[in-house]
């Protein structure tokens, strides 16, 4: 015999009690403003600016070679994120990369994160907090400045 309680479990929809209300809530970040999770628009703007700069440099220095463009992009990401915590595109978009603990990303995190970013797939697969696999692998997050 089917009870009313059993029917109600699928009629009411999935249990959403464990789902956070906004990206970054599970990580203890504010919903908006400085220190909040960088949303997709800022992230896309930042990477487009960085890729455009890499393409510009590659066109002048390497006749637009596609591998040179990727190398220029990777070098910019590794050097700038590893030392400053943000790339040129990130700075313009008002975001930066930090460790979950709040400290700077550092050179090793920047290197591994960039290598995974250059593979593209880890960057487009993300969790409910909008952290890509490249960020999850190095325990980093992109937050608003």
Helices 66-83, 40-61: axis angle to 10 degrees equals 120
Q: What is the pLDDT of residue 44?
A: 93
Q: What is the pLDDT of residue 145?
A: 93
Give CA–CA dist 124/145, Å, rounded.
Answer: 23
- What pTM was estimated for this model as a whole? 0.82
Tell me which H or E stretch contains 141.
Answer: strand 140-144
Under DSSP, is residue 113 helix (H, G, I), strand (E, B) or coil? helix
Q: Give the mean pLDDT of 54-77.
A: 97
Q: Give the mean pLDDT of 64-78.
A: 97
Asked if residue 20 has pLDDT above 80, the reply is: no
Do the Cβ atoms of 88 and 49 come closer than 8 Å? yes
CA distances from 128 to 105, 132, 140 (A): 21, 10, 15
**Confidence category of residue 27, pLDDT binned at 50, 70, 90:** confident
Partnered with residue 142 across adjacent β-strands are: 97
């Amino acid at each position: 015999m089917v009870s009313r309680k059993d029917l109600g479990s699928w009629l009411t929809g999935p249990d959403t009690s464990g789902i956070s209300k906004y990206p970054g809530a599970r990580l203890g970040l504010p919903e908006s403003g400085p220190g909040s999770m960088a949303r997709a628009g800022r992230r896309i703007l930042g990477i487009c600016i960085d890729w455009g700069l890499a393409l510009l440099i590659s066109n002048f220095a390497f006749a637009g070679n596609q591998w040179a463009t990727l190398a220029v992009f990777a070098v910019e990401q590794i050097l700038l994120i590893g030392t400053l915590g943000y790339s040129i595109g990130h700075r313009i978009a008002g975001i930066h990369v930090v460790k979950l603990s709040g400290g700077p990303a550092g050179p090793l995190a920047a290197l591994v994160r960039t290598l995974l970013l250059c593979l593209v797939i880890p960057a487009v697969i993300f969790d409910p907090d909008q952290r890509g696999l490249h960020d999850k692998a190095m325990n980093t997050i992109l937050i608003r400045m």
